[in-house]
Amino acid sequence: MENEISRFIAYLQIEKGSSPHTTDNYAKDLQQFRAFMAREQLNDLRTITYINVRTFLAELQQQDYAKRSVSRKLSALRSFFNFLVREEMLETSPFHFVRTPKLDKKLPKFLYVEEMEELLGLPDPHTEYGRRDRAILETLYASGMRVSELVGLNLASLDLGIGVALVFGKGAKERYVPLGEHAVEALKQYMDHARTKLLGDPSNPALFINSKGTRLSDRSVRRIMDQYVNQLSKSRKISPHTIRHSFATHMLEAGADLRTVQELLGHVNLSTTQIYTHITKDHLQTIYNRAHPRA
């Protein structure tokens, strides 16, 4: 099975353009299923049946895996076995009749406009790292891009003259996103006064640079966020993705239509974007309850 897993992961990376986060998780899920096969003395993928799959799912349930985790593991295994069928290594997939558990709707966390303004004002504009961090936060909020898209930006990705950035999203899809005047100004300050001081190799095309002079990673951006969130003294968990959720929520609250927000976020399906309409309804209800004397 190890060889088949390697081929499948290569297929995800090269043909599907899946993110490193997805491929890493899928690889772990497949190794977990491989360990299950060893325990059940199943030595051939062709012998896996629907009953074996149900036994594996029962194990996950006994181990108290969340529905969302089970759903992802099923997605990984279903994709893997479909790949094997497509490659004519199997005739049918044992996951064909397995249903994905129905997930509870989980509303994304977001910051109110005032909270977002407070967060954006925390980085020190007089230091190299402060200028970089402000540019990061302003860019995330102005564009709604994913943190993986942010760290993938190069100098050539930007056109600050017209205030846009070219980002590479999921599935190797490109899209242009607007940056807005605050993000453009923060990026100019960073590029003019900080980036060259942080840079190691002058030929490095990366926009955002870490303390070692190389491209900033997803994990580093999360650590930077944690640093400023601690200053905000917020008890709830706030991540770079929270800024993306805040961007979408604030756009819809200000009157942007759903299709526009879908395009800006790089969502393939409108249904993915529609989750934010639930947030705005909750927000309106909260304001009503707070403001109306008979609420």
pLDDT tens column, 18-62: 888 889 999 999 999 999 999 999 988 888 999 999 999 999 989
pLDDT value at residue 22: 87
241 is catalytic: yes
pLDDT value at residue 287: 66
pLDDT value at residue 104: 61
Backbone Cα Rg of the chain: 23
Structure tokens at 75: 């997605």
Q: Are 112 and 282 in contact, with CB atoms under 8 Å apart?
A: no
Catalytic residue among 146, 195, 245, 250: 146
Q: Are 70 and 101 in contact, with CB atoms under 8 Å apart?
A: yes
Task: Tell me the pLDDT tens digit for each residue of 144-188.
Answer: 999 999 999 999 999 999 999 999 887 668 899 999 999 999 999
Catalytic residue among 73, 134, 244, 250: 244
Give the long-range contacts of residues 118-125, CB within 8 A, separation 24 or more: 118/232, 119/228, 119/229, 119/232, 120/182, 122/228, 122/231, 122/232, 123/228, 125/189
Across the beta sheet with 174-178, the strand order is 158-159, 164-168, 174-178
146 is catalytic: yes
CATH 1.10.150.130 boundaries in the chain: 2-86
Catalytic residue among 26, 190, 228, 276: 276
Average pLDDT value for residue range 79-98: 90
119-123, 208-212, 257-261, 269-273: least confidently modelled range: 269-273
Q: Is the pLDDT of residue 105 over 80?
A: no
Catalytic residue among 7, 34, 78, 170: 170
Structure tokens at 272: 């993915």
pLDDT value at residue 6: 93
39 is catalytic: no
pLDDT value at residue 235: 61
pLDDT value at residue 141: 96
Among 133, 144, 115, CA closest to 222:
133
Percent pLDDT > 70 in the chain is 92
* 120 vs 255 pLDDT, higher one: 120
Average pLDDT value for residue range 273-292: 71
242-246, 266-270, 272-276: least confidently modelled range: 272-276
Range 113-291: architecture per CATH: Orthogonal Bundle (1.10)
Binning pLDDT at 50, 70 and 90, where does residue 83 land? very high
What is the average pLDDT score of the chain?
88
pLDDT value at residue 98: 82
Average pLDDT value for residue range 104-126: 87
Which CATH number is 2-86's, of 1.10.150.130, 1.10.10.10, 3.40.50.1220, 1.10.150.120? Answer: 1.10.150.130
Binning pLDDT at 50, 70 and 90, where does residue 99 land? confident
170 is catalytic: yes
276 is catalytic: yes
Task: Tell me the pLDDT tens digit for each residue of 192-241.
Answer: 999 999 998 889 999 999 999 999 999 999 999 988 988 886 666 788 88
Record the pTM: 0.66
Q: Is the pLDDT of residue 189 over 80?
A: yes
pLDDT value at residue 114: 92
- Give the C-alpha separation, 136 to 266, whole Å: 19
Q: Is the pLDDT of residue 268 over 90?
A: no
Structure tokens at 129: 């790292």
- Give the C-alpha separation, 58 to 295, whole Å: 47
Q: Are 222 and 243 in contact, with CB atoms under 8 Å apart?
A: no
Catalytic residue among 16, 193, 222, 241: 241
Q: Would you say the C-alpha torsion 244, 245, 250, 255 has a positive or negative sign? A: positive
* 134 vs 66 pLDDT, higher one: 134
